[in-house]
Amino acid sequence: MIEIPLRILLVEDNEADVLITRRTIQKLVRNPHIEVVEDLGSCRDMLINFIPDVVISDYNLPTCTGFDILHLVREKDPELPVIFLTGTIHDEELAENTVLAGASGYILKKYMNNLEEKLKPLLNQVVFRMSEKKEIRERLRQNKININQINDYLDNLKDDNRDQKENISKIKKNIRDYNRDKDEDDRKT
């Protein structure tokens, strides 16, 4: 079982397929967060507001095609994995074109009774890619920490310079006051 609670966007208009896919995902992933949409507009909103780890999409939807979904996903996040779960792809050429266009994989709906077996390796790839990104995110986080520390150091230098300038100004003022007092004393004598 995948222990990372994946955020999955399911683009599907058939309620029976939604139920089967949900149950299968819940067998494969501990505590998945699954959002379901049926059209391109809702998919766009979820890509902006939900930020999924993977998109699983039917290929033939009432208002758009799988290529439309894939194009939208690539526009929003070129690295986001897209898996097609479809009954439309009957010939190998269309399946190859789907993968060549950037899909991470596809599963024919005629294999819904083996969906767990077919979906598991694809979700494992998603998790593997996430772990690679986790290292990159950790390096970015560490770089941000370093940059923040450098900025803090520079701010302290500025403060030190400001303090030094203030001290120099005070010293100059004291010297002027001393000279003025000395001049007054000299005039009195």
- The region of weakest confidence among 14-23, 73-82, 89-98 is 89-98
Q: What percent of the chain has pLDDT over 70?
A: 83
Q: Domain limits at 106?
A: 7-142
pLDDT at 182: 65
- The verdict on residue 148 lying in a domain is no
- The verdict on residue 131 lying in a domain is yes
Check which CATH number belongs to the domain holding 16 and give it: 3.40.50.2300
Q: What percent of the chain has pLDDT over 90?
A: 28
pTM of the entire predicted model: 0.67
Q: How many domains does the chain have?
A: 1
| Three-class secondary structure of residue 16 per DSSP | helix
Choose the most confident range, by mean pLDDT, from 20-24, 44-48, 119-123: 20-24
- The verdict on residue 147 lying in a domain is no
pLDDT at 11: 96
pLDDT in tens, 164-186: 777 777 787 878 777 777 667 66
Q: What is the mean pLDDT of residues 78-85?
A: 88
- The verdict on residue 154 lying in a domain is no
pLDDT at 22: 94
The H-or-E segment that residue 100 falls in is helix 92-100
Q: What is the mean pLDDT of residues 135-147?
A: 74
| Three-class secondary structure of residue 93 per DSSP | helix
pLDDT at 152: 74
- The verdict on residue 155 lying in a domain is no
pLDDT at 71: 92
pLDDT in tens, 92-139: 666 667 777 777 777 777 777 778 888 888 888 888 877 766 677 667
pLDDT band at 89, cuts 50/70/90? low
pLDDT at 94: 65
- The verdict on residue 27 lying in a domain is yes
Q: Are 58 and 70 in contact (CB under 8 A)?
A: no
**Quick one: how far is CA 58 from the chain centroid?**
23
Closest to 44 in 3D by CA, of 75, 81, 5, 78: 75
pLDDT at 8 > cutoff 80: yes
Strands of 33-37's sheet, edge to edge? 33-37, 7-11, 54-57, 82-86, 105-108
pLDDT at 19: 94
Q: What is the mean pLDDT of residues 30-56?
A: 92
CA pair distance 14, 37, nearest whole angstrom: 11
* Token pair 């005070």 in the structure block, residue: 170
